[in-house]
Structure 1
């Protein structure tokens, strides 16, 4: 009772003047440490002593309120325990100090106030690492891997191995947080060549998957190198369509870790070998979150196909810009960060934090990626050209019987440029009565037909149009022949199209077309002449040229024998439909007045020396007249120009 009286007096004195000497007992020390404003936190028995008064059983000056007295015993006990823990922490020596002295560098305030979520995430990550190691040890202990030799590690949970017995490649996949039966169900529900196939279940935590081979590498490697953005977007397009199929089966993928996606060496095919992150749509995800985790999953909401749109959006962002998506990126700042045509219209609909602003499904993402690929390197094409002709210095030739020309047509629809050029050259036959008429009618008719059909000319029918237009030119020549009652009329003819960047050629007779690339000359046509016929029959070219006239031709316009197959195209001469032109390629059309006078080496030297097509065409004709001049000489020289509008 005496001790009890002293404790009461100590407390009573503290209530009067706020001061107290050091208490003798542990229980008294607890009371000293409390502020006057926290009286309600005192244990119920001590509150009772205070309320019952001090000396002479007088009432306490500040009796506790009724609700304080009636507080549950558990609350008081919890507060006592907390006070005890605080005291122990205060008495414990600071970390890094000696002799129980305070630490010289106490933690900064921001470190001390680290969010609880970060601590929890770190703990979960550590637990996952431990679990992975335990699983690996379990596999090794059980002897599962005794028949396999490790080739390479694909991700933290997968390893590429080779079977020592059959020498085939497999992937060993360790399952973390999923039920094996659920995982098997997902794999078996996807009948898709781009989804991994289970070879065998090794144990409750391990799958053996079929491996497409070592030429398949993780997508993460390609994204880091960014060597071919267009191919990467093509792979992501296929990936989007594959996940769309997964979504239709009732699952969401949610974790778009690129190390779990394999891509072929050609960068044309992919394999999603790890489906352990796939869950039923509507599932709420907890655990470790990566930069590829859907935004709403981090916020604790359930995930679905719209969540997957965000996930693939993070991969697309990293592919295009070479870095993972910033944490502070929002819908407003996306435009400032991207600011690229086509991409700015597409990417915000993938990575917006607001679900209603995203694409509704992965099919829309795949289609959008296709449009970006088509416009990634927008091509614009143009032609520089020059025609030059000379009658020659043969006194018997009083007319220039050659004709040549070019027409270009361009449209731009929905941002896409369509460019087509038609060109033609004709060499009127000097032995005829109206060679000049024949060449003029052939060229004009060709262009008339071109303008009537220009919107219908496509890659798949370009060669047929060349044949048809040439036959039409022949029909017009025959019509003139009959109307004017001309006995003999004829012309050689070489013509073609440049459709965007593809070159198509047709010819009848011995007027030629050449491709000049990297200053090297390549003949694209084959002469319809007696010389060529004898060479094709096995004769020696040098001997034939000495004994046979080059001017004798075996085909010409002005003949009533002409049908569509009478006209040769690249399909006949080079066994290909077209030639894909490159920037600065030149196309040379000429009559025999040029190629009979100059060697191929001389033509190469002139077109290499003279930079402009005007100067080159002029020099070619002048040099030919200087060397020979016995015939009319006409050239049509085109220079192909390609402009690449790169949007990245």
Structure 2
């Protein structure tokens, strides 16, 4: 999907070993109802008056739980997230810098709202169905990410490939605590065990919030662990760097993940930023804010 300033494409694949695809994703183009066709107001003042005229929403959810519980959880998460953002469209009209924290709080409340829906839908026997959610909201030149679980959001800028989100797994906690590496057997045994997700038997979700400025030629990747479990970060970087479009990148990522074994469902969204040079953000790739609320 190519819209003004961005080239976005997403896809999901069942993989080689699963009987059901419990992943879901969404790419949405958000537009203002008011479009200025002619005005003598300078562009900068026009933006101050009316804010951005277009934004993008990307969501990846990786469900878990037997008897179609995971598929239902991820479907509910994606649909409910989109509905929540739609109800927040007053934010989309104009977002000043002073409003960003409140906006992030609203997006965090989105996951908490989805948590309630999944918990109430689970019933007495389905409390353990759950899903990861990684949601990116682009409002040029800013990006806001809300995240729970071990799906990921990456940013490629000037050759540097950086994971913006944190894996909410026991394995990552062991690594972060020091003294253990990803290759340790103890870490490997816990790499698929989540301490935080939407649903999953816990009544509380702890959303992770990330915000950063975007720049011309940035490339974003949202994906489930069916991709990252099969391909290294370097392989993902090389693929998205060597393809000409987001669609080509996504299809190659999925093909390579399946070629590597396809152990899980595979979902990926790639977004290429193509904004004018004079509209660039001012943050380096390593500069972004992350909080867990």
TM-score normalized by the length of structure 2 = 0.80
**Correspondence for 2:104 among 463, 482, 485:** 463
- For residues 388-410 of structure 1, what are the alpha-carbon distances to aligned partners after superposition, in whole Å with 9 as ceiling and x for unaligned? 2211111xx21100011122223
SS for the counterpart of 2:74 is helix
Q: State the alpha-carbon separation in 1 of the partners of residues 173 and 10 from structure 2.
A: 30
1:598 counterpart = 2:221: no
Aligned partner of 2:118 in structure 1 is: 477
Aligned partner of 2:138 in structure 1 is: 498
1:449 counterpart = 2:84: yes
Change in 2 beyond 3 A, CA 1:644/1:381: farther
| TM alignment of 1:139-288, pairs within 5 A | none
Aligned partner of 2:16 in structure 1 is: 393
Change in 2 beyond 3 A, CA 1:505/1:487: closer
How far apart are 1:485 and its partner, in Å? Answer: 4.9
Aligned partner of 2:29 in structure 1 is: 408
Query: Which structure carries more helix by proportion?
Result: 1
How far apart are 1:643 and its partner, in Å? Answer: 2.8
Change in 2 beyond 3 A, CA 1:528/1:547: closer
Aligned partner of 1:262 in structure 2 is: none
Aligned residue pairs, count: 255
Contact 2:65-2:128 within 8 A present in 1 as well: no
Aligned partner of 1:138 in structure 2 is: none
**Correspondence for 2:150 among 507, 510, 525:** 510
Q: State the alpha-carbon separation in 2 of the partners of residues 512 and 645 from structure 1.
A: 29
Aligned partner of 2:172 in structure 1 is: 532
Change in 2 beyond 3 A, CA 1:521/1:544: farther
Q: State the alpha-carbon separation in 2 of the partners of residues 474 and 598 from structure 1.
A: 30
Change in 2 beyond 3 A, CA 1:385/1:420: same
Task: State which structure, 1 or 2, has the greater radius of gyration over its C-alpha atoms.
Answer: 1
Q: State the alpha-carbon separation in 1 of the partners of residues 28 and 188 from structure 2.
A: 40
Contact 1:497-1:503 within 8 A present in 2 as well: yes
| TM alignment of 1:36-435, pairs within 5 A | 382-394=5-17, 397-411=18-32, 412-413=35-36, 415-416=46-47, 417-430=52-65, 433-435=68-70
Change in 2 beyond 3 A, CA 1:496/1:538: same
How far apart are 1:487 and its partner, in Å? Answer: 4.3
**Correspondence for 1:585 among 215, 218, 225:** 218
- For residues 34-83 of structure 1, what are the alpha-carbon distances to aligned partners after superposition, in whole Å with 9 as ceiling and x for unaligned? xxxxxxxxxxxxxxxxxxxxxxxxxxxxxxxxxxxxxxxxxxxxxxxxxx
Aligned partner of 1:561 in structure 2 is: 203
Which consecutive aligned stretches of 4+ in structure 1 deviate over 4 angstroms post-superposition? 430-433, 544-547
SS for the counterpart of 1:628 is coil
Q: State the alpha-carbon separation in 2 of the partners of residues 454 and 500 from structure 1.
A: 15
Q: State the alpha-carbon separation in 2 of the partners of residues 500 and 446 from structure 1.
A: 20
- For residues 249-301 of structure 1, what are the alpha-carbon distances to aligned partners after superposition, in whole Å with 9 as ceiling and x for unaligned? xxxxxxxxxxxxxxxxxxxxxxxxxxxxxxxxxxxxxxxxxxxxxxxxxxxxx
Structure 2 gap ranges (5+): 40-45, 280-293
Contact 1:531-1:544 within 8 A present in 2 as well: no
How far apart are 1:462 and its partner, in Å? Answer: 2.5
TM-score normalized by the length of structure 1 = 0.37
| TM alignment of 1:10-21, pairs within 5 A | none
Q: State the alpha-carbon separation in 1 of the partners of residues 30 and 252 from structure 2.
A: 29
1:611 counterpart = 2:252: no
Query: Which structure carries more strand by proportion?
Result: 2
How far apart are 1:433 and its partner, in Å? Answer: 4.9
Task: Give the superposed CA RMSD.
Answer: 2.2
